[in-house]
Amino acid sequence: MQQKKRILLLATGGTIASRKSDNGLKPQITPEELIEYIPQVKEICDVEAVQLLNLDSTNMEPAHWKLMVHAIWEHYDDFDGFVIAHGTDTMAFTASALSFMLENLSKPVILTGSQLPLGMLRTDGKENLITAIEIAAAHDGDSPIIQEVCIFFENDLMRGNRTSKTSADNFNAFHSYNYPVLAHAGISIHYNLPHIYRSKLKKPLKPHYTFDNNIAILKLFPGMSPLVVENLLKTPQLKGVVMETFGSGNAPSSEWFLKLIREATDKGIVIVNITQCHTGSVEMGRYKTGHHLLENGVISGYDSTTESAVTKLMFLFGSGLSSEEVKEYMQCSLIGEITVED
Ligand code: ASP
């Protein structure tokens, strides 16, 4: 008989672990209680739960991502898969960051949470947690089916660095617009095998822990104040900017705007162009309003999510790379986060 798989559940807080308090929902449920809500999982695997944090994920910081990576690294050989119970608000940032931090990952790391706390009658937490655990335990022979950082929510398993939170109240709260879902859970779980990441070389897990937070997001809108853009781009120590542009990567042609962009890129600030549209990719050569960004040193973020572009910049600069090196890596897919030709 096949041995039951061992899953480590890392509890970090969020709505899933919350109860009502005098001033709103607050994470309070212990990891032992989390497991008590889903006794059925004992039938499919052995789950051990650890309280890593107890936060509303709005308060998540890179220091907390490091704790998660360290826990996975420390217990890597003892478990077959990892599930992280996490608040939904910043789950896509954590999933993106973890995908870059866990180099050579070859076991599943599945983040999940819920829109209603586990203790509430109509909670979505039980199903999310049970299915995330089942997916983390799923093997094909000796190999885990999933070998990357994912988010499971409602019915879908999505690549973590391709996912965004898209609804503040629907149970179907996350989407992966530019990459197919990796599995769909209905009566049975269907895995989308051709789209699941497989590392070509089997190397030992290499955790990374350093981030540089001298990064900003500049979201364009008609009528932007030159003073605001100037202040942002002249922030002392600024190293990278994720610029959310219109359509296929277009931005205003105003002289003041392009001059500020040029001054920033000349100083070595890496400006990454991603689109405000949910689907599709940046293509700066398509319109003149995109081409002038290319001429002024802006690089393409292709079809990246904001969450992935921001955490990738923080990660690359945190690794001590030069601006030129960061530019190069931003335009390559490190772990399936963007669609680029090889
Ligand atoms: N504010 C909560 C959090 O992100 C929301 C949730 O978990 O759904 O921790």
HSE-up (13 A, CA, CB side) for residue 93: 16
Q: Is 168 in the pocket of ligand 1 (CB under 6 A)?
A: no
What average pLDDT score do residues 231-237 get? 98
Amino acid letter, 185: A
3-state secondary structure of 27: strand
Please tell me the predicted confidence (pLDDT) of residue 169.
Answer: 93
How far apart (Å, rounded) are the C-alpha atoms in residues 305 and 166? Answer: 12
Q: What b/e readout covers 29-60, taking b as 16+ CB neighbours within 10 angstroms?
A: bebeebbebbeebeeebebebebbbbbbbeeb
Give the tokens for residue 116: 């209603």
| Ligand 1 atom nearest 114 alpha carbon | 8
Ligand 1 centre to CA of 289 (Å) is: 38
Average pLDDT along the chain: 96
Please tell me the predicted confidence (pLDDT) of residue 199.
Answer: 75
pLDDT band at 300 (very low <50, low <70, confident <90, very high): very high
Q: Are 135 and 152 in contact (CB under 8 A)?
A: yes
Task: Give yes or no for residue 342 having a pLDDT over 70.
Answer: no
Report residue 28 CA to chain centroid gap: 24
Ligand 1 centre to CA of 21 (Å) is: 15
Ligand 1 centre to CA of 264 (Å) is: 36
| Ligand 1 atom nearest 113 alpha carbon | 7
Instruction: For CA atoms 306, 312, 313, 315, give the dihedral sign.
Output: positive
Give the tokens for residue 92: 């896509």
Q: Is 248 in the pocket of ligand 1 (CB under 6 A)?
A: no
Task: Give yes or no for residue 21 having a pLDDT over 70.
Answer: yes
Ligand 1 centre to CA of 16 (Å) is: 8
How far apart (Å, rounded) are the C-alpha atoms in residues 160 and 210? Answer: 19
Of 337, 318, 335, 317, the residue nearest 327 (C-alpha): 317
Q: Is 57 in the pocket of ligand 1 (CB under 6 A)?
A: yes
| Ligand 1 atom nearest 18 alpha carbon | 7
Please tell me the predicted confidence (pLDDT) of residue 288.
Answer: 87
Q: Name every residue whose Cβ is closer than 8 Å to that of residue 112 and which is 6 or more positions away in sequence.
A: 16, 83, 84, 85, 86, 128, 129, 131, 132, 151, 152, 153
The rounded radius of gyration (Å) of the Cα atoms in the chain is 21
Enter the pTM of the model: 0.97
Q: What is the DSSP letter of 4?
A: P
Least confident of 172-181, 245-254, 316-325, 333-342: 333-342
pLDDT band at 198 (very low <50, low <70, confident <90, very high): confident
Ligand 1 centre to CA of 39 (Å) is: 24
Report residue 290 CA to chain centroid gap: 27
Q: What region, left, alpha or beta, does residue 220 occupy, with left being phi > 0 and alpha being psi -120 to 50 degrees? A: beta
Q: What b/e readout covers 172-188, taking b as 16+ CB neighbours within 10 angstroms?
A: ebbbbebbebbbebeee
What average pLDDT score do residues 221-239 get? 98
Please tell me the predicted confidence (pLDDT) of residue 202.
Answer: 84
Please tell me the predicted confidence (pLDDT) of residue 1.
Answer: 59
Q: Are 305 and 163 in contact (CB under 8 A)?
A: yes
H or E segment to which residue 98 belongs: helix 91-101
| Ligand 1 atom nearest 27 alpha carbon | 9
Give the tokens for residue 212: 């540089």
Distances 231 to 31, 118, 258, 272 between C-alpha atoms, Å: 45, 44, 15, 18
Phi/psi at 271 (nearest 5 deg)?
Answer: -110, 120
- The yes-or-no answer on residue 305 being catalytic is no
Amino acid letter, 20: K
| Closest residue CA from atom 7 of ligand 1 | 87
